[in-house]
Structure 1
Amino acid sequence: MKNIAIPSKNQWNIKKISEVAFYQEGPGVRAHQYRTRGVKLLNVANLQKGKLDLSKSERYISEEEAYGKYNHFLVDEGDFIIACSGIKVEYFEKKMGFVREEHLPLCMNTSTMRFKVLDEKELDIKYLAYYMKTDYFKKQIKKLITGSAQLNFGPTHIKKVDLILPPLQTQKKIVAALDKAQEIIDARKKQIELLDELIKSVFYDMFGDPVSNPMGWEVSKLEKCAPVKQNKKKNVQGEVWLLNLNEIEKNTGEIIEYREIDVEDIGDSTIEFNTNNVLYSKLRPYLNKVVIPKRSGFATSEILPLEPTKTILQKDYFVSMLRSKEFVEYISTKVSGAKMPRVVMTELKGFCVPIPPIKLQNQFTQETGKIELQKQIMKQSLTEMEDNFNSIIQKAFKGELF
């Protein structure tokens, strides 16, 4: 019995994904098996914005285990990877990507699944990838895991999922059309990245290297000008924003996902923050995760709620300083723990923050504010492009494009 109806405007077939693709879930590699070098382990955090980004983690297993016990979990160039656990439905299409040559060697781990085409004359792997972004796929998966707001599925679920399968040439036409639309979206994302680079350029022109301080600004220890603020927990009820590290984009501080949970479910190992704070990740400082929160919330205790002294330290200047290449490189050497490097708090608190005149810092905010405004306009445009893309992809699989 078919789970979906064949689109009415064509004679496309419907087959189970298992009939046309090989798929495999990653093994459950344990923490005691992790190494600081060897063969890198793939995990959910590596799948961001529809791409595979291995800078998101530093977990390895030994070459002996990778090429022995886990040899059949080593991925190949061209494999299609998805996250299959703990993902909100609306973010699923961002938690997937293709393996490229530069990613290798790479071993799968828990909560990830890979796909390979069984017969290239029948299925285009990129067609399958786009199909998994459609409502056709998501509705089937949601039906199979009824009762959960998040996607948690495995091979037994995939085995039951139907795939709309037009002729191979039609698949390739659909892929080409969607690739073109994706290129336009990627170009807009690149423009946004260039604006981020412009903000960095303005910072260096005005203030210089914050570590060597070549302009000779007065300095203040971080614990004095931006102390860790232990906010008092308010009598909050209902759902609240809980921020984890994997929900912060490296280098930009953009929030990838806002997650709301009931305040009763918040554990003891959390901190509370508000809009006066600058949030700084002390874990793996090389990932450069610094956030100016736009609203109050709670966060993992790996995040420090710093509170700049308003009379001498402007938040935009302070955040740009923390994100600067020189500071990130400096503080990344002041850590403890090989597997999970954390900033040594005495080193962070003792860092001498350059304090330019507040008038100059405010000027920086004004100039970068104009750039941020351009970014917001482009981000809005990007959202519209992505909405249009989603509309096109649904039409493509209804047979309304070809």
Structure 2
Amino acid sequence: MKIEAIPAEATRFKETELGPLPEEWRVVRLGDLWKQGILWIKNGFSQGDFNEQGSGVPHLRPFNVNEWGEISLPQIKYVAPPPDNSPYWVYKGDVIFNNTNSEDLVGKVAYFDREGKFVLSNHMTIVRVQDSKVLNGAWLAKWLLHLWYQGFTQTLARRHVNQASISLARLRSIPIPLPPLPEQRAIAYVLRTVQEAKEATDRVIAALRELKKSLMRHLFTYGPVPVDATDRVELKETEIGPLPAHWRVVRLGEVVELRKGTVSPAEVPEARYVGLEHIDSGEIRIRRFGKASDTRSAKAIFHAGDILYGKLRPYLDKAALAEWDGVCSTDILVLISTEAVDRTFAAYLMHTDFVLHHAIATTTGVNHPRTSWKSLSQATIPLPPLSEQREIARILRSVDEHIEAEERKKAALEALFKTLLHHLMMAKIRLPEEFVARFAEATP
């Protein structure tokens, strides 16, 4: 879809309480539309008997609205269904508004575009368009999302212990601009198209991550051979399962060594600092870091090419290959690969079940479970010849690079969505008249 937007200079503006807006746009309040019967607004209901087994009907809660104005269902819970005539049913086309949440999340909003029966919790409000000849529900959801991004919705909240809430009266006080209906539909369509592109990218990333998991199992069982050639690989039974006959089984400590040495942050204030929070689970690349000057207490020293392994809560599966020198938390083991192992292969090896399960089994402590190098070094691992190690690392790195490219695409789409949301809602850019004309009917 390619649309040439109209610059703001081509529009005649008038001053409003929301700032300069096109002359043909009106500014009203949600309460005005409610009084006129254009909107129906109702809070959800409180239901304490939840279950996660799918008994009853899905019960939407604040967790089910994400920051992009979308319904998300990974933490869905179920309740007994209310009567068929209950006002708490959610219908396709409703706008879902979080009326109670933490201070930064209260006012999150989503457009409900799903099929099926759902009910709403009392921490949420249904805003339903009853006269679609005046107002488009998808556009209204995007306007409220814009206000949340701008921080306006949060200013309406009353603060309580650990949460904030927005009353129906305050919700009805929210001002909204009303472009002509075709323009509302066109704006909603453009923004939804960007969201769909982001969602498609999310699905590609998820599929690539699943591919990587499958590849890890395949490569560390059969080696770098095509999936359809595994029957030609001569296997042998080992203490860690079947492996190619020419591979060795060794202890981790035979091919990886512990780097020792700490330094005070005051001695290296400009050094890059890596904490566990900077390492992504299951990934070998470090994408974030801090500064040593922002930390206290002694830090471990690492160099480019070292492997940083999170010994605290090892079930989080944090291990990365350093691409530069720096310092790190002492809850991170700094490991050096020997000549017997390729460093990139070793970094991926730290994410295999051979190491992960051993690390989890050797943790001590209840509140802060940790493994140790003494324990971890005894993990039994497969060791292919160097040439196969490098090929395995190359294959996995190519998948990671593909994932990183898709993540950059996703980040660009997210930035585009936020920019378009602001500029279209405030008429800083306008959609061309011939494009808007396609939305004169409800279904363009």
TM range (shorter): 0.5 to 0.7
d(CA) in 2 for partners of 1:231, 1:166: 62
d(CA) in 1 for partners of 2:70, 2:365: 31
The RMSD of aligned alpha carbons is: 4.9
Pair 1:317 & 2:341 matched: no
Offset at residue 361 of structure 1 (A): 0.7
d(CA) in 1 for partners of 2:143, 2:331: 38
Q: Which residue of 235, 252, 255 maps to 1:225?
A: 255
Residue 77 of structure 1 contacts residue 99 of structure 1 at CA under 8 Å; is this kept in 2?
no
Query: Structure 1 pair 270/132, CA: closer, same or farther in 2 (3 Å)?
Result: farther
Q: Which residue of 176, 182, 200 maps to 1:187?
A: 200
Residue 127 of structure 1 contacts residue 174 of structure 1 at CA under 8 Å; is this kept in 2?
no
Which residue is 1:48 aligned to? none
Output one character per residue of 1:14-56: Cα deviation in whole Å (capped at 9) or x when no partner. Answer: 879xxx999xxxxxxxxxxxxxxxx9xxxxxxxxxxxxxxxxx
Which residue is 1:250 aligned to? 281
Offset at residue 353 of structure 1 (A): 2.7
Instruction: Say which SS state the counterpart of residue 389 (structure 1) adopts.
Output: helix
Residue 283 of structure 1 contacts residue 343 of structure 1 at CA under 8 Å; is this kept in 2?
yes
d(CA) in 1 for partners of 2:174, 2:326: 41
Percent identity, aligned pairs only?
17
Output one character per residue of 1:368-389: Cα deviation in whole Å (capped at 9) or x when no partner. Answer: 3444444454444444434433
Counterpart of 2:348, as a letter, is S
Q: Which residue of 332, 340, 343 maps to 2:368?
A: 340
Instruction: Say which SS state the counterpart of residue 280 (structure 1) adopts.
Output: strand
Structure 2 unaligned spans of 5+: 1-15, 35-40, 43-49, 51-58, 79-99, 108-123, 130-134, 156-161, 223-237, 437-444
Pair 1:236 & 2:264 matched: no
Larger radius of gyration: 2
Which residue is 2:9 aligned to? none
Counterpart of 1:180, as a letter, is T
Pair 1:127 & 2:160 matched: no
Normalising to structure 2: TM-score of the pair?
Answer: 0.56
Pair 1:398 & 2:426 matched: yes
Q: Which residue of 361, 366, 379 maps to 1:351?
A: 379
Residue 310 of structure 2 contacts residue 332 of structure 2 at CA under 8 Å; is this kept in 1?
yes
Q: Which residue of 186, 195, 204 maps to 2:217?
A: 204
Query: Structure 1 pair 114/265, CA: closer, same or farther in 2 (3 Å)?
Result: same
Number of residues of Structure 1 aligned to a counterpart in Structure 2: 322
Which residue is 2:25 aligned to? 11
Query: Structure 1 pair 100/187, CA: closer, same or farther in 2 (3 Å)?
Result: closer
1:31-50 matches, cutoff 5 A: none
Offset at residue 101 of structure 1 (A): 7.0
Structure 1 unaligned spans of 5+: 23-38, 40-75, 84-92, 144-152
d(CA) in 1 for partners of 2:105, 2:418: 23
Pair 1:287 & 2:260 matched: no
Residue 251 of structure 1 contacts residue 323 of structure 1 at CA under 8 Å; is this kept in 2?
yes
d(CA) in 1 for partners of 2:387, 2:164: 60
d(CA) in 2 for partners of 1:253, 1:111: 35
Offset at residue 133 of structure 1 (A): 7.0
Residue 319 of structure 2 contacts residue 350 of structure 2 at CA under 8 Å; is this kept in 1?
yes
Normalising to structure 1: TM-score of the pair?
Answer: 0.60
Query: Structure 1 pair 109/8, CA: closer, same or farther in 2 (3 Å)?
Result: closer
Output one character per residue of 1:129-182: Cα deviation in whole Å (capped at 9) or x when no partner. Answer: 732674xx16x79x9xxxxxxxxx9859xx9xx966245978787555434322
Instruction: Say which SS state the counterpart of residue 336 (structure 1) adopts.
Output: coil
